[in-house]
Amino acid sequence: MIRQEQEYYMREALFEADRARIIGEVPIGCVIVWKGQIIGRGHNLREHSQDATLHAEILAIQEANAFLKSWRLEAAQLFVTLEPCPMCSGAIINSRIAEVYYGAADPKAGTVGSLMNLLQDSRFNHQAKVTAGVLQAECADRLKTFFRDIRRRRRKKC
């Protein structure tokens, strides 16, 4: 996939991240692409749902599975604004997604290059092609701005 296409889909993931931000959730968004079509979208909903499993990637994978009526997403590409955590990396392995593109790295919990690389561990029965740093600055800025604004609001309250 050429860089322009990668950035097009990452902008769609950023649009999902903005939907999370608007409702006060940590702004992380994800889309899943299959044959050039977006078949799954998701944004972080942990606080609103009070469900620890509702990360952007899980919701997008569930929507893509429902669209294809199959748990196998072998021909799909996943775009996510932040490097996946262990749960989401595992869901990518379980759904056999072929390619993963992410924006910002997550040095605290990222398992696709930062702390380890679950998606390219040959001991699992599936590996994915990984491209890091797609619209990295924009994806990282969304998070930085979100947490800066939270700190400012807290200071004002004090």
Q: List, in order, residues 6 or more apart from 132 with CB less than 8 Å away.
A: 83, 102, 105, 112, 113
Pattern 106-135, a copy of itself, x by CB under 8 A: --xx-x---xx-x--x-xxx----------
Nearer to a copy of itself, 6 or 111 (CB): 111
Distance CA 35, CA 95 (A): 16
Q: CB of residue 109 vs a copy of itself: minimum separation in angstroms?
A: 6
Distance CA 71, CA 67 (A): 10
Counting contacts by CB under 8 A, is residue 32 touching a copy of itself?
A: no
Candidates 10, 31, 39, 61; binder of a copy of itself (CB under 8 A) is: 61
**Does 30 count as an annotated binding residue?**
no
**Does 55 count as an annotated binding residue?**
yes
Helix axes of 3-22 and 56-68: crossing angle, nearest 10 degrees? 110
Q: List, in order, residues 6 or more apart from 150 with CB less than 8 Å away.
A: none
Counting contacts by CB under 8 A, is residue 72 touching a copy of itself?
A: yes
Catalytic center residues = 57
Distance CA 92, CA 40 (A): 13
Binding positions for a copy of itself, rule: CB under 8 A: 46-47, 49-53, 55, 58, 61-62, 65-66, 69-73, 85-91, 93-96, 108-109, 111, 115-116, 118, 121, 123-125
